[in-house]
């Protein structure tokens, strides 16, 4: 199959044509390669790596340098998907100049095509500044994990009239600020449908029902590699954690039993050379 690199124009085009957009997270060379080979449109190097790769309690702790380190590895493995780098907590909230500088690092150093940041109306002017600097931005509204303390926990957002209307206002503000697309996380399906119909930019849902323009999941959730919890909106397409443990136990047992490595895993030596070596050693 001949493939061409996905651009933001291809993603916008999919919304216009009503074609579903596929997106997954990836965090390193092998997951980048796997998602690329599966023909997914967009890769997000999500700050969820703080939890699923680095073992933190939440996404707050991850730093710019850690994010860039993972972005570089993903970019080495994934050649075709649109690559989006997730701006970590406190890399864009303090002031707009710093936000633009850090956004630029994702493109210059991380090999990303786009950046993502969390927030709605409160972030519109920062989004505008980053877009004006020539960097495409994906917004993220609804459940925004970086502000989990403020939200009071991982819970669905926009369930009543006032909060649902606030989400629409956030979506319009980000669209007007020049965001090229929006993540809608953990919001009621009818609200996500309304937002999707009322903005011209593509919406990508996670826990936001089937009517978004596209869907995203955290790869570790989808393949069953995260040990702690599985959110309600995740579908596990594989369960590789126990499969890996079984393989590792097999290795452990064979090393203990002396059946690994077998002759086929070793390197032979010419008998004459061996005898000469033994002679050299005086044996």
Asked whether position 48 contacts ligand KIV by CB under 6 A, the answer is yes
Rule CB under 6 A: say whether 25 interacts with ligand KIV: yes
Rounded to an integer, what distance in angstroms lies between the CA atom of residue 253 and that of residue 205?
44
**Residues 130, 106: contact at Cβ < 8 Å?**
no
Q: Does 126 bind ligand KIV (CB under 6 A)?
A: no
216 binds ligand KIV (CB under 6 A): yes
Name which of 73, 11, 12 is nearest 45 in CA terms: 73
- 266 secondary structure, DSSP code: S
Is residue 86 part of the contact set for ligand KIV (CB under 6 A)?
A: yes
Binding segment toward ligand KIV, per CB under 6 A, in 2-10, 39-47, 246-254, 272-280: 39-47
Closest to 38 measured CA to CA, from 24, 28, 48: 24
Min dist CB 277 to ligand KIV, Å, is 56
Contact between 64 and ligand KIV by CB under 6 A: the answer reads no
Assign residue 254 a region: left if phi > 0, alpha if psi is -120 to 50, beta otherwise?
alpha
Q: With binding defined as CB under 6 A, does residue 47 bind ligand KIV?
A: yes
Q: Does 206 bind ligand KIV (CB under 6 A)?
A: yes
Look at residues 17, 117, 3, 8 and name the one whose alpha carbon lies nearest to residue 64.
117
Q: Which residues in 135-164 contact ligand KIV (CB under 6 A)?
A: 140
The residue among 154, 166, 39, 147 whose CA lies nearest residue 93 is 147
Contacts of 5 (CB under 8 A, 6+ apart): 79, 80, 82
Q: Which of 21, 24, 46, 53 binds ligand KIV (CB under 6 A)?
A: 46
* Smallest distance from ligand KIV to CB 49, Å: 7
Q: What minimum distance in Å lies between the beta carbon of 37 and ligand KIV?
A: 20
Catalytic residues: 185
Binding residues vs ligand KIV (CB under 6 A)? 25, 44, 46-48, 86, 140, 183, 206, 216, 218
């Amino acid at each position: 199959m001949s493939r061409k690199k996905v651009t933001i124009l291809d993603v916008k085009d999919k919304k216009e044509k009503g074609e579903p957009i596929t997106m997954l997270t990836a965090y390193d060379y092998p997951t980048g390669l796997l998602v690329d080979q599966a023909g997914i449109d967009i890769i997000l190097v999500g700050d969820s790596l703080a939890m699923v790769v680095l073992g933190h309690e939440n996404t707050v702790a991850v730093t710019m340098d850690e994010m860039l380190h993972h972005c570089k590895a993903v970019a080495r493995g994934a050649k075709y998907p649109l690559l989006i780098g997730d701006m970590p907590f406190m890399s864009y909230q303090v002031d707009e100049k710093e936000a633009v500088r850090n956004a630029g690092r994702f493109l210059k150093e991380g090999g990303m095509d786009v950046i993502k940041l969390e927030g709605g109306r409160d972030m519109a002017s920062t989004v505008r500044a980053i877009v004006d600097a020539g960097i495409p931005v994906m917004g993220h509204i609804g459940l925004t994990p970086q502000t989990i303390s403020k939200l009071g926990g991982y819970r669905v957002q926009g369930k009543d009239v006032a909060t649902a209307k606030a989400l629409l206002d956030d979506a319009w503000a980000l669209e007007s600020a020049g965001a090229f697309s929006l993540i809608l996380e953990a919001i009621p399906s009818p609200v996500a449908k309304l937002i999707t119909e009322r903005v011209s930019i593509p919406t990508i849902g996670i826990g936001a029902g089937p009517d978004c323009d596209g869907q995203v999941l955290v790869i570790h959730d989808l393949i069953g590699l995260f040990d702690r919890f599985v959110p309600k909106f995740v579908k596990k397409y594989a369960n590789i954690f126990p499969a890996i443990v079984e393989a590792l136990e097999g290795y452990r047992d064979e090393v203990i039993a002396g059946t690994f490595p077998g002759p086929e895993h070793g390197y032979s030596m010419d008998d004459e050379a061996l005898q000469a070596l033994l002679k050299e050693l005086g044996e």
